[in-house]
Amino acid sequence: MNQNERKIFTADPSALGLFGLAMVTFVASSQKLGWTSGTSFIIPWAIFLGACAQIYACLNDAKKGNVFGATAFGGYSFFWLAVAMSWMISNGVFGETMAKNADPKQLGFAFLGYLIFSVYMTIASLETNKVLMIIFILIDFLFLGLSMSTIWGIHAGHELAAWSEFFIALVGFYGSAANVINNTFGRTFLPIGKPLGIFKK
């Protein structure tokens, strides 16, 4: 096999993508739960971990022909970019005029749109593994809570979103760790659970 015929193998980017998701939700949930305040120091984590790490995972999953991974990491990476910019607008980075004209309910409808996206991604996740399935179910609750609190002002929605986001972070850390350790050891050290096997044959 000459140099031009060598195949280029792309490593599974899921560990980095899940780590990015875990980190940004861990930091963001601290603010929703009242353990920290403000969004200024969440913005860098939203851009670099929530967005950039997941964009990297998206592009590499696309190279591997993984439609589910590319769509999931891509969709949520751009969500975090949009949220980071929304926080920047609210904090006056782009001027007081933009900050004053911001209608939070428009963000609420974006959350509702992402709830729709997350529901059909959850259905697809049933045929991946149990860890991803749990993450997507929690993401559904996150966007349900965000929609409830932002559009209709339901306080219970805020609590639902806060705790869902916190548990997304914990399960995301586990999923990232399992991907790295299992691949490095060449065996299942941290189980992730088999797909349900009820739709895919």
What CATH number has the domain bearing residue 46?
A: 1.25.40
127: nearest Cα among 169, 69, 182: 69
The backbone torsions φ and ψ at residue 186, rounded to the nearest 5 degrees and listed phi first, read 70, 20
The backbone torsions φ and ψ at residue 75, rounded to the nearest 5 degrees and listed phi first, read -60, -45
Residue 84 lies in a domain: yes
Q: 36-86 pLDDT, tens per residue?
A: 999 999 999 999 999 999 999 999 999 999 999 999 999 999 999 999 999
Show the tokens assigned to 91. Answer: 């904090």
Tell me which residue range forms the domain holding 65: 11-184
Question: What's the rounded Cα separation, in Å, for the pair 161 and 58?
Answer: 25
Residue 200 lies in a domain: no
Number of structural domains the chain divides into: 1
Q: 77-101 pLDDT, tens per residue?
A: 999 999 999 999 999 999 999 999 9
Residue 164 lies in a domain: yes
Residue 2 lies in a domain: no
Residue 59 lies in a domain: yes
Residue 197 lies in a domain: no
Question: What's the rounded Cα separation, in Å, for the pair 144 and 121?
Answer: 15
